[in-house]
Chains A and B, each alone.
Chain A
């Protein structure tokens, strides 16, 4: 009873604390000064048709690097917790074969989903989406193949190489920006090109492709270690 009362008290307290947020909310009709600057100068300055991508990759590039680092640490944690212990040799569990429909469907759909993921991160500066979304779509394609063939072994060396190389090149491009352009992760180390074309917006497509590869390989690693540890 006392516990219930305490929970109720905490809830009431939070309601009173958060009430001003709800009651005093004003719909914004004009952009604030920073957003104004992004909208006005972004397309000319960075050459990206999708302003969201310009903000994520260049204006707020350091935050994105931090985000990628967080994802990397999370993946490392999952891999560490679900690692295969060398001393305990588990007998290979006989898994049920996946159904005919799933196998045939995977053979048809997996290349298409893969291609779609690559399209999303290559066109991140033109259309909605980008490295993170494309990477997750690629991971879902690999998930489909993992479900269709549970016994298959992933090429871990290739995955790790892709992951670490793309991470290293991401930072390298960022450092190049320090020397060739205005600052860390500046996209103007490459020519800006024509607005709205695939080869435009400087280094944004390169950076987002690297992020896409990195996120994709990390998430595939998570799914693979979860699949293998499931005995």
Chain B
């Protein structure tokens, strides 16, 4: 049972990774990248590593996303980006 959940989460992670690469808007890509970290932290929790899960959830999906968003808004206001 737990293996099935972990496999499902892994598939969702890979899906989110492809979304992060192929999404049209950069904002959606940033959110998708945050989702990867969130799913990874759930997997860590299921694999009995709560310390790593906390770090991943706080840094990976929280702080990194925010830093990316700040950088995104800076890029957007600084001039047109060729990738849109």
Contacts and interface: CB of A to CB of B under 8 A. Distances in A.
A137 B61 CA distance: 12
A192 interface: no
Interface residues of A, number: 22
A221 interface: no
Contacts of B71: 226
Contacts of A231: 77
Contacts, number: 45
Classify the secondary structure of B's interface with A.
helix
The secondary-structure label for the interface of chain A is helix
A230 B77 contact: yes
Interface stretch (A124-132, A151-159, A160-168, A173-181): A124-132
What range describes how many residues of B lie at the interface? 10 to 19
B51 A52 contact: yes
A139 B67 CA distance: 12
B25 interface: no
Contact of B55 (A53, A132, A219, A227): A132
Interface in B54-84: 54-55, 58-59, 62-63, 66-67, 70-71, 73-74, 77
A140 B67 contact: no
A129 B52 CA distance: 8
Contacts of A223: 66-67, 70
Contacts of A133: 51, 54-55, 58
A155 to B, nearest CB: 21
Given A129-B50, A136-B62, A140-B62, 13 more contacts: A52-B51, A53-B51, A128-B53, A133-B58, A137-B58, A139-B63, A140-B63, A223-B67, A227-B70, A229-B74, A230-B70, A230-B74, A231-B77
5 contacts: A128-B53, A128-B54, A132-B55, A136-B55, A230-B70
Interface of B: 50-51, 53-55, 58-59, 62-63, 66-67, 70-71, 73-74, 77
